[in-house]
Every structure is written in C-alpha cells, then in structure tokens.
C-alpha cells in the first residue's frame, strides 16, 4: 500500500504539472501516461509485465504523439509513425533520458516487488507454521512427562532437565528446521535495504555530482537509522525524519547561498521554522506518514515472526512450573472441580488413557470434562 500510494501521488503530481504546463495538448494525450502508471502498478502487484518492453513502448507512443502534435499541419499516416518508432534508438529524440530512466525504474520496481513478495511469503509461512498441530507422539510424551508423577502419588516430583529438553526437542523438531532458513530470510531483507540505499546513492551522484557527494552523510544517516529501527533499535521514526528534513534544508540553504557566510545559529533558526516555511511543500509530511506506516508494519511483522524462536526457548524451561499445574477430579454428578487429594476421580493421561483410582477407564462424559480441564491447563502455561 505504501508503494502504491507513492505511485498514485507521483501520477497525480505529474498530471497536475503537465496540465498547467501543456494544457489541452497534454489532456488529449494523457492516456499515454495513464497506461504507463497502470502497467507499473500491475507489475508491482504481481502482474506478468515485461518492464523493459513496457518502457520502450511508452517512449515509442510518446514520440508518436509528440511528432503528430508538432507536425499538425501534415497528414501523418500510421505507417509513417510506425517507421519513426522503429528507429527511436537511432534517432534518440529524448537523448539518454529513456536509457537512464529504464535502468533506474527497472531496478527500483524489481527491488520493491521482491520486497513485497518476500513479506507475503513470510506471512504465509508464519500462518502455516502457526496451524501445525502437535504429533500424537509429541502429545503422548508431553502428557506423560507432565502428569504421570501424579499417578504414582508423587505430585511434587518434576521431570529432570534432560528429560524435559528431549521431549521439547522432539516436539519442536520441525520448527527447529525452519530456524536457519528464517535467519537467511531476515538477512535477505537487510541486504535488500542496503541495495536500495546503494541505488539511490548512485542515482544522486549521477544527477547532482559533487554537491551531493559533499553532503551524502545526510542520506547515509537516514538509511542507518531506518536499518537500526527495522532491526529493533530504539528509534523514534517521527523525530528521526524531522531531523533528516532539517539537516537537508540546512545543507541545501548553504549550497544555494554559498556567497554568504552562514552561521550555525542562523541555520538552527531556519530549522526551527521548517514547518512554517515549508521549503519542500507537503512532501515531508506525506513521506513521514508513508515511511512510518511502512516501517512500523515491516518491523512488527518481523518481530511477530521471531516470537516462535522465543517461545521454543521458553518452553525448554517449563519443568520449573509443574508444581503450579492443577490436577482436577470429577464428582459423580460432574458438577464441580477440586484439587487432587480430595475424594473422587483423579485423571491421568499416562499412555494416553484416563483411569480412575480403581484403574478403570472413566465414562465418556468424564473424559470430555477432564479433557477441557487439561486443555485449560495447557493453554494457561502456553503449551497450546
């Protein structure tokens, strides 16, 4: 949504600018640009679009429309326009702009779509893993470890650490296999962020040259803070972005007024009134909202998916909590629960069977009631 919103804002801004600049001639041919943005959105959302061919077609269509407008006194046939389009690379009517834009747009959109598709895969993996039920062997081992001491009349005896760890390792074997792949997945996103920074840096160097290179640390700091936030660092996104625009304004003001000696106090005064002066228009406000939403969502998503690892670590310490697990008994009327030791029926899941003190299987109604009690216990301590 963040990237699509950026695309829509760009399309809207270009449309408004072209309407003001070119008026009716642009409005009569605006579908060329509308089709361009429609195809870019379709590619981003997973559509089967060849970016290079689509951009080549855009420049060909644009050349045809411009040639027709600039030569409106002549009757130009479709064959003539098609001939012009064929020789676009040789004629180079737009100079090197199409080549440069093709390279930049292709890299940007491939990175953006890969990022979004990667997040989608991660979400799907997390959903599938969360729905994986325990195997019968795991349930049997876990229940035996937790409840069999009560059957032997030793409710205070807990499983030894190694036994507990072995049971947990067996239950979480499949989840453990996912760990190295998941770490690679997280590293991929960090690498993608670094590649995005590198691409932007190259583009700014080509466009602005030495002035940008002398002030590139402003952008380097921005990406460093974004990476720190994404990896769990204590970063206030709103304050960090406000500081970025203030620093950028100071550097640009100094560059544009290099004939004057500008003091630190003067620059600090300018920074204080950035909101009132609005030197960048509404761009900082819009980008702040979009970047904040995107990075909060991305970090929350990644942190949420890391919970599984933490849960696995905590489960290994569960042996220390056995003395807190309640053992219920069911009265003949199945109307109340008491702690173990009172007269009645005590449940035990040893060997996956329920037995009464007389070593007889409990009635079906008792089994249902007892199962609910056990399920509450397991949920309380985070087993299910």
| Residue 7, pLDDT score | 77
In this model, does residue 312 exceed pLDDT 60?
A: no
Q: Cα angle at 123 between 382 and 40, to 5 degrees? A: 165
Do 165 and 298 contact (CB within 8 A), yes or no? no
| Residue 202, pLDDT score | 67
The better pLDDT of the pair 57, 231 is held by 57
Over range 54-72, report the average pLDDT: 87
| Residue 344, pLDDT score | 29
| Residue 102, pLDDT score | 83
Distance separating alpha carbons of residues 77 and 229, to the nearest angstrom? 58
Would you say the C-alpha torsion 312, 318, 324, 327 has a positive or negative sign? positive
Q: What are the residues whose beta carbons fall under 8 Å from the beta carbon of 114, sequence distance 6 or more?
A: 192
In this model, does residue 363 exceed pLDDT 70?
A: no
Do 176 and 99 contact (CB within 8 A), yes or no? no
In this model, does residue 318 exceed pLDDT 50?
A: no
Q: What are the residues whose beta carbons fall under 8 Å from the beta carbon of 91, sequence distance 6 or more?
A: 84
Residue-wise pLDDT for 122-138, tens only, equals 777 777 777 777 788 88
User: HSE-up of 360 (CA within 13 Å, CB side)?
Assistant: 6
What region does 360 belong to: left with phi over 0, alpha with psi -120 to 50, or beta? Answer: beta
Do 376 and 384 contact (CB within 8 A), yes or no? no
In this model, does residue 369 exceed pLDDT 60?
A: no
Tell me the domain boundaries of the chain: 136-155+327-380
| Residue 207, pLDDT score | 56
Residue-wise pLDDT for 25-47, tens only, equals 888 888 998 999 999 889 888 88
In this model, does residue 50 exceed pLDDT 80?
A: yes
| Residue 304, pLDDT score | 61
Could you tell me the pTM of the whole model?
0.48
Residue-wise pLDDT for 322-357, tens only, equals 333 333 333 333 333 333 332 222 333 333 333 334
Do 316 and 162 contact (CB within 8 A), yes or no? no
| Residue 203, pLDDT score | 59
Residue-wise pLDDT for 258-299, tens only, equals 788 888 888 888 878 777 877 777 777 877 777 777 777 667
């Amino acid at each position: 949504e963040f990237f699509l919103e950026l695309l829509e804002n760009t399309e809207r801004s270009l449309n408004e600018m072209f309407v003001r600049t070119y008026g009716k001639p642009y409005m009569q041919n605006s579908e060329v640009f509308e089709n361009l943005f429609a195809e870019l959105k379709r590619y981003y959302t997973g559509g089967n679009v060849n970016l290079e061919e689509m951009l080549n077609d855009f420049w060909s269509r644009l050349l045809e429309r411009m040639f027709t407008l600039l030569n409106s006194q002549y009757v130009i046939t479709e064959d003539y326009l098609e001939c012009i389009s064929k020789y676009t690379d040789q004629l180079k009517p737009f100079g090197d702009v199409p080549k440069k834009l093709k390279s930049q747009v292709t890299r940007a959109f491939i990175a953006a779509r890969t990022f979004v598709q990667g997040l989608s895969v991660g979400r799907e993996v997390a959903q599938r893993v969360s729905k994986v039920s325990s195997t019968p062997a795991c349930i049997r081992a876990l229940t035996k470890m937790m409840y069999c001491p009560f059957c032997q009349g030793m409710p205070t005896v807990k499983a030894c650490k190694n036994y507990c760890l072995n049971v947990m390792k067996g239950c979480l074997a499949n989840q453990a296999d996912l760990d190295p792949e998941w770490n690679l997945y997280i590293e991929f996103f960090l690498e993608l962020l670094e590649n995005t920074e590198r691409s932007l840096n190259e583009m700014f160097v080509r466009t602005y040259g030495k002035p940008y290179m002398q002030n590139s640390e402003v952008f380097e700091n921005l990406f460093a803070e974004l990476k720190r936030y994404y990896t769990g660092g204590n970063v206030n996104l709103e304050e960090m972005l406000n500081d970025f625009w203030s620093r950028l304004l100071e550097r640009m003001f100094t560059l544009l007024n290099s004939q004057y000696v500008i003091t630190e106090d003067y620059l600090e005064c300018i920074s204080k009134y950035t909101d009132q002066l609005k030197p960048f228009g509404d761009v900082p406000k819009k980008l702040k909202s979009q970047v904040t939403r995107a990075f909060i969502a991305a970090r929350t998503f990644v942190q949420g998916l890391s919970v599984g690892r933490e849960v696995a670590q905590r489960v290994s310490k569960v042996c220390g909590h056995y003395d807190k697990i309640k053992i219920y008994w069911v009265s003949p009327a199945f109307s109340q629960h008491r702690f173990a030791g009172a007269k009645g029926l005590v449940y035990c899941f040893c060997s996956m069977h329920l037995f009464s003190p007389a070593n007889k299987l409990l009635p079906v109604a008792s089994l249902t009631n007892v199962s609910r009690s056990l399920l509450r216990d397991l949920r309380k301590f985070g087993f299910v």
